[in-house]
């Protein structure tokens, strides 16, 4: 997803169950591995945290190849970040080379008073691209366990 959508913060929440207000823009890609149990099954996720800035738009898609899962992240308080989801989805389709389970993540749902993208709108878009929609808050942790459970179901 686009820069400042909260991709790195979601990964920090998944990995360390923590949130840092002051994070810097990802300038390339970071590789993270998360292991957890879901209904007695060991799940090992290899996660690429990719840059969302426009100047890195041609580099990030190389990390999509062979992806079993993809998290497309937008900021629910930023309509433009939601409108960029089609671009990122198209990049994923062109570059993954495999059937990828897609999760559309509406992040920053704790900022409901600043919401610019209605949940119903995001859900409809997710359905149109055959993705699963999850609202998350990297800050509070809302939706993160639900996301991990949904990944576990599809693993």
Beta-sheet pairing, 69-75 with 101-107: parallel
Q: What is the pLDDT of residue 21?
A: 76
Residue 29 pLDDT? 60
What's the pLDDT tens digit per position in 38-69?
Answer: 999 999 998 888 765 444 455 556 778 888 99
pTM: 0.87
Most confident of 26-35, 90-99, 112-121: 112-121
Cα dihedral 110, 116, 119, 125, rounded to 10, equals -130
* Spatial distance between the Cα atoms of 128 and 32, rounded to a whole number of angstroms: 30
Q: Which domains are seen in the chain, by residue range?
A: 7-154 (3.40.50.300)
- The token pair at 3 is 């820069």
At residue 93, the 3 state secondary structure works out as helix
Among 147, 11, 12, 4, residue whose Cα is nearest residue 82: 4
């Amino acid at each position: 997803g686009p820069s400042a959508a909260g991709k790195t913060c979601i990964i920090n929440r998944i990995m360390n169950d923590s949130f840092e207000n002051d994070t810097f823009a990802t300038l390339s890609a970071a590789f993270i591995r998360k292991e957890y149990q879901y209904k007695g099954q060991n799940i090992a996720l290899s996660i690429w945290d990719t840059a969302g800035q426009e100047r890195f738009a041609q580099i990030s898609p190389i990390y999509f190849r062979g992806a079993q899962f993809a998290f497309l992240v937008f900021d629910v308080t930023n309509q433009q970040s939601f409108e960029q989801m089609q671009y990122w989805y198209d990049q994923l389709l062109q570059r993954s080379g495999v059937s990828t389970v897609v999760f559309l993540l509406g992040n920053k749902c704790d900022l409901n008073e600043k919401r610019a993208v209605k949940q119903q709108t995001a859900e409809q878009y997710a359905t149109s691209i055959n993705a699963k929609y999850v609202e998350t808050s990297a800050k509070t942790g809302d939706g993160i366990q639900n996301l991990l459970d949904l990944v576990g179901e599809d693993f």
